[in-house]
Amino acid sequence: MKIVVLDGHGLNPGDLSWDGIAQLGELTVYPRTSDDDFAAHAADAEILLTNKTPITDERMERLPHLKYIGVLATGYNVVDTEAARRRHIPVTNIPAYSTQSVAQMVFALLLAATNRVEHYARENREGRWSRNPDFCYWDTPLVELAGKRMGIVGLGHTGMATARIALAFGMDVTALTSKDAGSLPEGIRKAASTDELFATCDVVSLNCPLTPDTSHLANARTLALMKPGAILINTGRGPLVDEEAVAEALGAGRLGAYGADVMGTEPPAADNPLLSAPRAFITPHIAWATQEARQRLMDICRDNLGAFINGQPQNIVNPW
């Protein structure tokens, strides 16, 4: 079978091997596929693997040999799954491969805000500690997490992993979740409402999917409910927050810090207000990109494809 990876660089810039997938067919890997390149790259493909390259109804119409689409991510909005379903083309995704890595990034961003390691490391490289008259110095607030309340929006795989880390830090955990309160692990309390969570937590971490109900969940109104100096973390999806409202709250000093690994548009525009906002800690969508997580992604992709070839497809997101 002819297998084409449309945008392999994001998953594998050279430190992983495609050999496991190559054993399943005739493999071609393109680092990236632009709109102009799509027709030539996808021509005659029976299997398409994509991360961010859209596969639309119109594009499928021009690919008569296409039998399978594998998304190299958990989210699969880049594929018109209904159009694929009508053509009996299974679409698969990669669930839960980056759970621990993303939960780790939640706390990397949180600790960046509370301990400011990068600030002091930069100052010391420039000689500040060596010139200091005392044995230590600090010029930012330093915050202990133990005893603080962490609110987690979404208690799926990543939200639950984040909660476990928060409990290990000695934090109290409140979760906005559809799960029954009685089924939650010890130490996790169910929030009565979104407003209650934003109003009562010292840290709010967004770990939920992007839906019409969660779009701009963090907005001018909900940000105004937060405690002065509270911290907001977003490793879910960029549009979970109103970025202008977050930047305004940071500039006004009401929001203590904002840590995000995702933006509403990626890459963000150079004039995005969060890129220059005070106490905004922005990373370039790398929470998923540890070598361990990417290797799991590669392995699950191989297993998904092998299961399809053997007539027992798994992780299908568009069943018919």
**DSSP string for 26-49:** EEEE-S---TTTHHHHHTT-SEEE
Phi-psi region of 139 (alpha: psi -120 to 50; beta: other; left: phi over 0): alpha
Residue 245 pLDDT: 98
Both 255 and 189 in a single domain?
A: yes
How many angstroms separate the CA atoms of 143 and 309, rounded? 53
Please indicate whether residue 65 is annotated as part of the active site.
Answer: no
Say which CATH number the domain at 178 has: 3.40.50.720
Given a cut of 90, is residue 129 above it in pLDDT? Answer: yes
Helix (H, G, I), strand (E, B) or coil at 55: strand
Using the CB atoms, write b or e for 106-120: b if 16+ within 10 Å.
Answer: bbbbbbbbbebeeeb
Both 164 and 71 in a single domain?
A: no
Residue 320 pLDDT: 86
Given a cut of 90, is residue 273 above it in pLDDT? Answer: yes
Both 74 and 17 in a single domain?
A: yes
Contact (Cβ atoms closer than 8 angstroms) between residue 24 and residue 309 = yes
What is the radius of gyration, based on Cα positions, of the chain?
Answer: 22
Contact (Cβ atoms closer than 8 angstroms) between residue 260 and residue 284 = no
Asked if residue 166 is part of any domain, the answer here is: yes
The whole-number average pLDDT for the span 213-226 is 98
The whole-angstrom distance between residue 88's C-alpha and the CA centroid of its chain comes to 30
Residues 6 or more apart whose CB falls under 8 angstroms from that of 209 comprise 154, 156, 236, 237
In terms of Cβ atoms closer than 10 Å to its own Cβ (0-12, 13-18, 19+), residue 268 is middle
Asked if residue 319 is part of any domain, the answer here is: no
Asked if residue 70 is part of any domain, the answer here is: yes
How many angstroms separate the CA atoms of 24 and 306, rounded? 7
How many angstroms separate the CA atoms of 150 and 168, rounded? 12
Both 32 and 131 in a single domain?
A: no
Q: Which domain holds residue 268?
A: 99-282
Asked if residue 10 is part of any domain, the answer here is: yes
Both 41 and 190 in a single domain?
A: no
Catalytic-labelled residue, pool 118, 126, 266, 292:
266
The whole-number average pLDDT for the span 27-40 is 98
Both 80 and 137 in a single domain?
A: no
Q: Which amino acid is at 261?
A: D
Both 54 and 105 in a single domain?
A: no
Both 67 and 120 in a single domain?
A: no
Catalytic-labelled residue, pool 32, 164, 216, 285:
285
Both 126 and 273 in a single domain?
A: yes
Both 80 and 216 in a single domain?
A: no
Please indicate whether residue 266 is annotated as part of the active site.
Answer: yes
The model's confidence at residue 120, banded by pLDDT at 50, 70 and 90, is very high
Asked if residue 179 is part of any domain, the answer here is: yes
Asked if residue 315 is part of any domain, the answer here is: no
Taken as a whole, the chain contains a residue count of: 320
Q: In the chain, which ranges are continuous DSSP H helix?
A: 19-22, 38-42, 57-61, 81-86, 99-115, 117-125, 128-131, 157-168, 194-200, 220-225, 243-251, 291-309
Number of domains in the chain: 2
Residue 9 pLDDT: 98
Residues 6 or more apart whose CB falls under 8 angstroms from that of 253 comprise none
Both 139 and 190 in a single domain?
A: yes
Both 107 and 256 in a single domain?
A: yes
Digit-coded pLDDT (tens) for 156-206: 999 999 999 999 999 999 999 999 999 999 999 999 999 999 999 999 999
How many angstroms separate the CA atoms of 184 and 91, rounded? 32
Catalytic-labelled residue, pool 59, 157, 237, 296:
237
Asked if residue 314 is part of any domain, the answer here is: no
Digit-coded pLDDT (tens) for 68-87: 999 999 999 999 999 999 99
Residue 268 pLDDT: 98
Please indicate whether residue 157 is annotated as part of the active site.
Answer: no
Asked if residue 317 is part of any domain, the answer here is: no
